[in-house]
Amino acid sequence: MKNKTFVVIDGNSVAHRAFHAMPPLTNKKGQAVGAAHGFMLALLRAVEDFSPAYLAVCFDTKGGTFRNKEFAGYKAQRPATAPDLVSQLKIIQNLLPDLGIAAFAVAGFEADDLIASVIAAAQKESEKEPIDFYILTGDYDSLQLVGENVKAFIVNRGIKNAVMYDAAKVKEFFGVAPAQIPALKALAGDASDNIPGAPGIGPKAAVEILKQCGSLENAFVEIRESREPFCFGNRARGEKIKEILVQNRGKILQFQKLALMVADAPVGAVVEKCAFKNFAGKMPAAALLDLGLAGVAKRLPQNGAGRNGTLF
């Protein structure tokens, strides 16, 4: 029997890409709705492609997280969110309940953390009936969650050009397993989150370290216990790598913590909460029409049935 599917959407990431991809659009009330329109197109495409039994959208909240407290530079280079996008994020969050879609926004947690927490909670609830998860996002951080029943659908220049990542695809593209992504960012750095990485270690060396040592923790254990040979080798380059790791141990482990998505946000029981009825009833179309998104309303599946790939 085929597993049921659970689509988890990074609301901020998808809305941000829609905001920059779609032309400006204002409804009769004078509200900017271009990003909301683009977000809905992505949402409809995900529903059409994956026929989810469960659906959730996760959002960032104001105030930051422990990451900002531990590292002042975390995402410090990012410009302030455009006012028109801020207003449309609120529109999207207010719209989702009328569409029959669960939304999560918890102070102190990023959308990434909520995605991880929703998946972890659902996996625990459905141990006897496994679920296949699909993450819709434009953020590569979510690749660390990819596994046997979790795939990430990365949106770049629109939903039509999104790329599906399973574990093999992550390994092919990044050179490491999904669970090693935080360590890779800690070593090589990540400009998008303003994580500087370890001085003198670039992406190629970072991948090689993780291939040879398995994890940062294992590398530091071998260094502490003076194991011979060191997992990265004892030649001159290996000694140089060891020196960099020793001198920057605290920062490297801190950066890995910053990059690691936490899965303990208080999202409660999620399976029943996220059950998706495929836009059943009159409320979804009415809510979209009220926002001036008549074109999107027309694309809703009729009588709970999909349209066999013809949404676009």
Q: pLDDT tens for residues 231-243?
A: 877 678 788 888 9
pLDDT band at 127 (very low <50, low <70, confident <90, very high): confident
User: Mean of the pLDDT values across residues 187-216?
Assistant: 94
279 shares a domain with 230: no
Q: What is the pTM of this model?
A: 0.92
Cα distance between residue 59 and residue 107, in whole Å: 10
Closest CA to 137 of 203, 192, 189: 192
Residues 64 and 9 placed together within one structural domain of the fold: yes
The whole domain housing 244 covers 178-259
Angle between helices 216-224 and 249-259 (to 10 degrees): 160
Q: What is the pLDDT of residue 168?
A: 97
Mean pLDDT of 260-275: 96
Peptide bond into 229 cis (omega under 30): yes
Residue 157: its pLDDT value, please? Answer: 63
* Whether residue 227 sits in one domain with residue 81: no
- Residues constituting the chain: 312
Specify the 3-state DSSP secondary structure of 136: strand
Percent of the chain at pLDDT above 90? 78
CATH of the domain at 286: 3.40.50.1010
* 103 plus 92 within the same structural domain: yes
User: How far apart, in whole angstroms, are the C-alpha atoms of residue 115 and residue 121?
Assistant: 10
Residue 290 is encoded by which pair of tokens?
């009220």
Give the model's pLDDT for residue 158: 58
Do 134 and 66 lie in one domain? The reply is yes
3-class secondary structure, 262: coil
Please report whether residue 121 resides in a domain. yes
Q: What is the per-residue pLDDT for 234?
A: 66
Statement to judge: residues 136 and 282 lie in one domain: yes
Residues 92 and 193 in one domain: no
Distance CA 130, CA 81 (A): 38
Same domain, 278 and 158: yes
Number of domains forming the structure of the chain: 2
312 part of a folded domain: no
